[in-house]
Amino acid sequence: MDTPRPKPLRYMVYALIALLVACGTSPGTHSPNSSSATVTLTVSAAASLNQVLPPIAKLWEQETGNKVMINLGSTGQLAQQIERGAPVDLFVAADKKSIEDLDKKELVFSETKALYGVGRITLWHREDSSLNIKELQDLTSSEIERVAIANPDHAPYGIAAKQALESIGIWDELQPKLVLGENIRQTQQYAESGNVDVAIVALSNSLNYPGQWILISEDLHQPIEQMLVVPKTALHPESAKQFAGFINSNKGRNLMQKHGFVLPGEEPIK
């Protein structure tokens, strides 16, 4: 009987590759559960961040290879989604209260709470508008028929707008003129489209869209202190903590500042 000849080395290599493919992996790659596997973070963020958060996320993606999917909306509504169990990796709110409320319900990792900026509000109207608006009191003019603010029931910038109007005593008088937006970005879109004459919006949005705007005194409303946190529904809590830290890093803070946010501990914008 002939003795079987040993198979050439290349056949053994082919057999090993076939075994690896059958097991769901291949040479030179890592399993999905390895520490180097990339992740896609789901980030729920206030609409006032629609201009600044995407570039911050892009920088982080370039540095880590991970991805960020941003879900923009009003802070109150986003908080409700988390309460209902939405798988959110990071919640970047437009206030502190919404996050503190979630913390009281033990729905977030308390140690991840962090302030990242203080917002400001402005009076904004279209660049081609002939309205002569210099202060909040001008909103009572008969020339102005419709004024948009974010809904104060669930939008922190809407709460600040209401407080400012109450501070100068014109909130009740303006009720027939008010149009409520679901979030601060939609509020500005009402003014951009001409559906309203003027809107009270975020400074971060006013700086990034052509138009005329006036900064509203911070003395007229409570500070819009903005906080982030990692919810307990997070699928990737460790990566979410890293991204949260990046937002508050020098790179993130520089972008926040350029987009009109006051950084925690800094002097207010005049």
Mean pLDDT of the chain: 87
Q: Where residue 209 falls among pLDDT bands split at 50, 70, 90?
A: confident
The rounded distance, in Å, linking the Cα atoms of 202 and 133 is 17
Res 1 pLDDT > 50: no
Res 6 pLDDT > 50: no
Res 126 pLDDT > 90: yes
Q: Where residue 264 falls among pLDDT bands split at 50, 70, 90?
A: confident
Angle, helix 237-247 to helix 53-64, in steps of 10 degrees: 120
Quick: pLDDT tens for 143-165: 999 999 999 999 999 999 999 99
Residue 221 DSSP SS3: coil
Least confidently predicted of 106-110, 168-172, 173-177, 262-266: 262-266
Place of tokens 């559906």: 195
Residues in the chain: 270
Alpha helices in 131-267 (DSSP H): 156-167, 171-174, 184-193, 203-206, 237-247, 250-258
**Strand partners of residue 150:** 181
CA 188 to chain centre: 16
Amino acid at 147: V
Element (H, E) at 179: strand 178-181
Quick: pLDDT tens for 32-76: 333 458 999 999 999 999 999 999 999 999 999 999 999 999 999
Compute CA distances 134 → 84, 123, 188, 218, whole Å. Answer: 43, 9, 18, 16
What is the token pair recorded at 18?
Answer: 């076939």
The reported pTM is 0.82
The rounded distance, in Å, linking the Cα atoms of 90 and 188 is 25
CATH numbers and ranges of domains, the chain: 40-118+225-258 (3.40.190.10), 119-220 (3.40.190.10)
Dmax over CA atoms of the chain, in Å, equals: 110
Decide: 178 and 145 in contact? Cβ < 8 Å.
no
Residue 22 DSSP SS3: helix
